[in-house]
């Protein structure tokens, strides 16, 4: 059989634990027999990040910007326990944080929908895609505790340090807490453009909610920047594609989302996206069915699964026990990257192959073959779910090609 050729490499970022095991098997079983894979390989496994003083993460992110398409395996974000376990030189930063900072992107999370795995919200027939603004607000806020009798202000200075404005936040009669959050016009504008571009690419409506009735300057600024950019750069393209942009209060968005059939891009401020993405992921079933893509303003893409390295399964695997880890989100990370590479390079064959793999993965589950996480949830008339182990599941998908 003739393998499909690639003209340009994609960036391959290897990772840790169970997902590193799955990574190797996906390539071996589902991709390399059919595609002459061209990839620039970066080992983001924790050992190599430590050995390179984390330079490998920076180099991988820069390669993603240069080549335009990357696929990333889940990686360990070190904590004190990992420092001991891996004998690390220090607590390295989160690789996803580093990559996001360099690519300056927006994260879009979308569930993979399969007949037989009904979402907990019965009306959600189509995927709800969540875009989370990944800059500012409480994530880079300055906080303090304040004692009785103290006062806290917002003070704005000019560039020479001269005081321009001073607003009292609270004169504390009793002890309390205070928080100072910020955001940047440019970051909100880049976020808006990423969201509108992504929605045009996927042909979905955009819903955005904030709390501008209460936060009349801060949240209001988000609303206004989105409106300005939509009107001046996107309204025409949206109307041509029969797509709409809806801004309403966050409470109203939540209510509308619950009543909806899904199928929209739900744009969230940083905190809303953090919280709502976990709710939406859970409602659609397993974390193993949730994909994630980081899109940079210059049009570079980094695809990954939304879940982590599935540590508990990895320790079973190391003990020689059988594991049944869901590889679907990682498979879709690969197919997403191959499809995008194909689109950019005008490589139709590669795009069709990626779609074939996705259909085969969905078909495999719909025919009753799945990993343990899905078995209890699966309900389809005439089909009894069968639990396969990690590698059996991948081999089964290849049979459906
Ligand atoms: P996790 O790896 O997502 O796993 C949490 C639990 O969810 C698992 O123990 C498993 O439940 C279930 N699960 C997740 N993915 C699954 C899959 N593909 N198939 C079957 N079950 C799955 O999250 P974590 O345990 O919080 O984090 C583990 C490591 O991953 C940490 O070191 C963390 O830093 C890292 N992490 C990385 C990323 C990333 O690179 N994007 C994201 C999140 C976390 P059961 O054990 O009950 O089967
Ligand atoms: Mg969260």
For a ligand 1 pocket test, name from 84, 86, 310 the mutation site with the most ligand atoms within 8 angstroms of its C-beta.
Answer: 310
Question: What's residue 169's pLDDT?
Answer: 98
d(CA 147, CA 145): 7
Classify residue 111: in a domain, yes or no. no
Residue 1 has pLDDT above 80, yes or no: no
| Same-domain pairing of 258 and 355 | no
Structure tokens at 304: 């990954």
Classify residue 291: in a domain, yes or no. no
Question: What's residue 101's pLDDT?
Answer: 85
- In angstroms, the Cα distances linking 142 to 118, 139, 154, 167, 169 are 42, 9, 12, 16, 14
Residues 6+ apart with CB under 8 A from 16: 44, 45, 46, 73, 74, 75, 76, 309
| Same-domain pairing of 240 and 355 | no
Name the closest-CA residue to atom 6, ligand 1.
310
Instruction: Kindly report the CATH number assigned to the domain that includes residue 56.
Output: 3.40.718.10
What DSSP designation does 287 have?
A: G
Residue 278 has pLDDT above 90, yes or no: no
Classify residue 225: in a domain, yes or no. yes
- The arithmetic mean of pLDDT across residues 241-267, rounded, is 97
Q: How many domains does the chain have?
A: 3
Q: How confident is the model at residue 322 (pLDDT cuts 50, 70, 90)?
A: very high
On whether the CB atoms of residues 300 and 113 are closer than 8 A, the answer is no
Question: What's residue 247's pLDDT?
Answer: 98
Half-sphere exposure of 397 (CA within 13 A, CB side): 29
Rounded distance from Cα 168 to ligand 2 centre (Å) = 32
| Same-domain pairing of 245 and 394 | no
The radius of gyration of the chain's CA atoms, rounded to the nearest angstrom, is 23
Name the closest-CA residue to atom 33, ligand 1.
76
The structure's pTM equals 0.90
The pocket of ion ligand 2, defined by CB under 5 A, consists of 274, 278
Q: What percent of the chain has pLDDT over 90?
A: 91
Rounded distance from Cα 319 to ligand 1 centre (Å) = 18
- In angstroms, the Cα distances linking 74 to 15, 307, 341 are 5, 7, 21
| Same-domain pairing of 84 and 10 | yes
Q: How confident is the model at residue 234 (pLDDT cuts 50, 70, 90)?
A: very high
Question: What's residue 176's pLDDT?
Answer: 98
| Same-domain pairing of 14 and 61 | yes
Name the closest-CA residue to atom 30, ligand 1.
308
| Same-domain pairing of 393 and 363 | yes
Range of 348's domain? 1-106+300-401
| Same-domain pairing of 217 and 361 | no
Classify residue 112: in a domain, yes or no. no
């Amino acid at each position: 059989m003739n393998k499909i050729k690639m003209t340009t490499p994609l960036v391959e970022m290897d990772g840790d634990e169970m997902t590193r095991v799955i990574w190797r098997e996906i390539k071996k079983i589902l991709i390399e027999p059919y595609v002459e894979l061209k990839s620039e390989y970066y080992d983001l496994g924790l050992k190599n990040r430590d050995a390179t003083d984390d330079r490998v993460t920076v180099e991988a992110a820069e390669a993603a910007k240069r080549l335009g398409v990357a696929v990333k395996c889940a990686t360990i974000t070190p904590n004190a326990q990992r420092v001991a376990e891996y004998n690390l030189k220090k607590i390295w930063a989160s690789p996803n944080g580093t990559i996001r900072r360099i690519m300056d992107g927006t994260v879009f999370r979308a569930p993979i929908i399969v007949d037989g795995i009904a979402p907990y919200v019965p009306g959600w027939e189509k995927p709800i895609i969540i875009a989370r603004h990944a800059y500012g607000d409480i994530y880079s806020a300055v906080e303090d505790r304040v004692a009785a009798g103290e006062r806290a202000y917002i003070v704005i200075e000019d560039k020479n340090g001269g005081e321009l404005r001073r607003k009292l936040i609270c004169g504390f009669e009793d002890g309390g807490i205070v928080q100072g959050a910020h955001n940047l016009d440019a970051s909100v504008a880049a976020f808006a453009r990423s969201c509108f571009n992504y929605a045009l690419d996927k042909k979905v409506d955009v819903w955005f909610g904030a709390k501008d009735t209460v936060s009349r300057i801060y949240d209001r600024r988000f609303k206004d920047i989105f409106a300005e950019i939509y009107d001046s750069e996107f309204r025409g393209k949206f109307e041509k594609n029969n797509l709409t942009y809806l801004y309403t209060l966050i409470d109203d968005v939540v209510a509308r989302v619950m009543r909806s059939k899904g199928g929209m891009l739900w744009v969230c401020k940083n905190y809303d996206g953090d919280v709502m993405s976990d709710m939406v992921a859970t409602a659609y079933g397993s974390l193993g069915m949730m994909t994630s893509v980081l899109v940079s303003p210059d049009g570079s893409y980094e695809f990954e699964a939304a879940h982590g390295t599935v540590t508990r399964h990895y320790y079973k695997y190391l003990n020689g026990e059988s594991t049944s880890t869901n590889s679907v989100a990682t498979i879709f990370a690969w197919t997403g990257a191959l499809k995008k590479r194909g689109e950019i390079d005008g490589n139709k064959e590669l795009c069709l192959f990626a779609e074939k793999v996705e259909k085969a993965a969905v078909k495999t589950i719909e025919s009753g073959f799945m990993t343990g996480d899905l078995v209890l949830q699966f309900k389809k008339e005439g089909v009894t779910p069968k639990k396969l182990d990690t590698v059996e599941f991948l081999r089964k998908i290849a049979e459906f090609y």
